Amino acid sequence: MAGPTKHKVLTCPRCRVPMEEFLEGGTFLDRCLKCQGIFFDQGEMFATLGTHADPSYWDRPETGGTAIPGGVPCPRCTAETLLQDVAFGGEKVEIDRCGSCGGIFLDGGESAKIVAIGSKMAEVVAAERGAAQSELDKMGDVDFRSGGLIYRFLSMFKSKRS
C-alpha cells in the first residue's frame, strides 16, 4: 500500500516531465527523475536539509541574491519563478524561487551547494546574533511586568493619561 501524498503530481520546470514524490527526513519532496531537480515547498529546505539550508542563512545581501524574472513556471502554483544567484565563500548556485507560493526549485546537486553557502554564512549570522545580544544586554532589565526599564517607560505614559 502506498503512503499518503501531500499534493498533486508536479511537473519539472526544466524537463517538463512529471516529478516523483518521495519522503526525505519526514518531509515529502518532489524530484524530477530525469534531471534530479528537487522542489521544496516553503519551509521544507530547513526541515529536510537542516539549519544551514534555512533561507535566513543564505538569502542575504552578502550573498548577492538579486532575483530576476526567470521565465520558468513554478511546479506548485505555475506563477513565473525568479532566478536568484546565491554566492559566498567560493560557492555559487542559481536557484529558482517562487514569489507567489514561496517554493524553491534546485537543480540536481544544488542542495549541497546551498547548504555549503549556509554553513559558510553561519559565522556571519553568529556574529550578528552576538552583536544583537550585546545590545540587549546594554538595555538591562527589559521586564514588562515588574519595574524593569520597559515597564517604567510605559508607566510614564500611563500616569500622564490618568
pLDDT at 25: 85
Quick check: is 102 in a domain? yes
pLDDT band at 54 (very low <50, low <70, confident <90, very high): confident
The answer to whether the CB of 112 falls within 8 A of the CB of 93 is no
pLDDT at 3: 45
Per the structure, the complete domain to which residue 137 belongs is given by 19-161
Quick check: is 8 in a domain? no
Over 50: is that where the pLDDT of 113 sits?
yes
**CB neighbourhood size of 159 (10 A):** 8
pLDDT band at 151 (very low <50, low <70, confident <90, very high): low
pTM across the whole model? 0.74
Quick check: is 1 in a domain? no
Quick check: is 58 in a domain? yes
The Cα–Cα gap between 12 and 72 comes to 10
pLDDT at 75: 94
Quick check: is 2 in a domain? no
Tallying the residues shown for the chain, one arrives at: 162
Quick check: is 138 in a domain? yes
User: Kindly report the CA angle at 147 between 142 and 152, in degrees rounded to 5?
Assistant: 80
User: Could you tell me the CA-to-CA distances from 145 to 36, 62, 140, 151, 152 in Å, in that order?
Assistant: 54, 39, 14, 6, 9
